[in-house]
Amino acid sequence: MDRLFQALADATRRDIVARVLVAEYSVSGLAEQYDMSFAAVQKHVAVLERASLVSKEKRGREQIVRGEVDGVQRARRLLDDYERIWRQRVDRIEDILGEDEDRT
Amino acid sequence: MDRLFQALADATRRDIVARVLVAEYSVSGLAEQYDMSFAAVQKHVAVLERASLVSKEKRGREQIVRGEVDGVQRARRLLDDYERIWRQRVDRIEDILGEDEDRT
DNA sequence: CGTTTCTACAACCATGTGGTTGTACGTTAC
DNA sequence: GTAACGTACAACCACATGGTTGTAGAAACG
């Protein structure tokens, strides 16, 4: 989870994720999209790969990057849990208020 | 967004978020829960506050920390977008396969 | 073959992060 | 008033991060 959210905590990396979820890119193809060195983009891809947000597949001399929706879903599920926890508290509070109304 | 995901990229901070979504805690009340200094917990709370994941309210000499679900939702919505993007790609691929099936 | 392309990785630098301790200040309790 | 409590903040440290350049290997092209 740490690595997952850490990977998402960078605008360039979030953009890479959005791109490779739509279409396949080679690492150099991605590097062309950004105003930074190839090595920098390569590092970003490595961070995303360690977080299971993308996967790489060797194709000839290129490395094809694909988006992995599983990682996205793992993160989303945690946030869903948080929202669920929050709603349960709200419901509990409303229950208490409801009981008060019954009595008044 | 950077600050949001950055804030979530730490297990202690995620635990704090989960706690304060359920119930209110003072900063020192939170600090008791963890095996680290008060100042460290205080910093974590500050990070969460800057990310709009919690809010603080002064009550006497204590500072009450509450969970803010809006921040959670902002993050979740982005991940929802990613999943939607991914599903559209899958649908597109299935459409292409469907067309093939029509022709064969 | 040699050259170009794509990739990987190391070394380096500036800055940020997660932790510590220490100090200071407002609030509560005695 | 004084002591204890809760908080804030600065200074410091070790380490991670995001960027750079440089070097080197594997695959494609002439």
Q: How confident is the model at residue B94 (pLDDT cuts 50, 70, 90)?
A: confident
Size of interface A-B (CB pairs under 8 A): 85
Q: Do A79 and B72 touch (CB under 8 A)?
A: yes
Burial per residue of A52-81, b for 16 or more beta-carbon CB atoms within 10 angstroms, e otherwise: ebbebeeeeeebbbebbbebbebbbebbee
- Given this model, what pLDDT does residue B102 score? 58
* pLDDT at B104 exceeding the cut of 60: no
- Given this model, what pLDDT does residue B96 score? 79
Q: What is the pLDDT of residues B5-53, one digit of tens each?
A: 999 999 999 999 999 999 999 999 999 999 999 999 999 999 999 999 9
Cβ neighbours of A72 in B, within 8 Å: 79, 82-83, 86
Q: Are B40 and A37 in contact (CB under 8 A)?
A: no
Query: CA dihedral in degrees (B90, B92, B94, B100; nearest 10)?
Result: -150
* % of chain B residues with pLDDT over 70: 94
Please give the residue of chain B at the shortest CA–CA distance from A5.
B9
Q: Which residue has the higher pLDDT, B98 or A24?
A: A24
Q: What is the pLDDT of residues B51-84, one digit of tens each?
A: 999 999 999 899 999 999 999 999 999 999 999 9
- Given this model, what pLDDT does residue B92 score? 81
Q: What is the pLDDT of residues A32-57, one digit of tens each?
A: 999 999 999 999 999 999 999 999 99
Both tokens of A86, joined, read: 């929050």
Distance B55 CA to D5 C1' (A): 22
| Architecture per CATH, A2-103 | Orthogonal Bundle (1.10)
> Low-confidence residues of chain A, pLDDT below 50?
none
First to last CA, chain B: 47
Please give the residue of chain A at the shortest CA–CA distance from B11.
A2
**Closest in B1, B73, B86 to A67, CB measured:** B86
- Given this model, what pLDDT does residue A103 score? 58
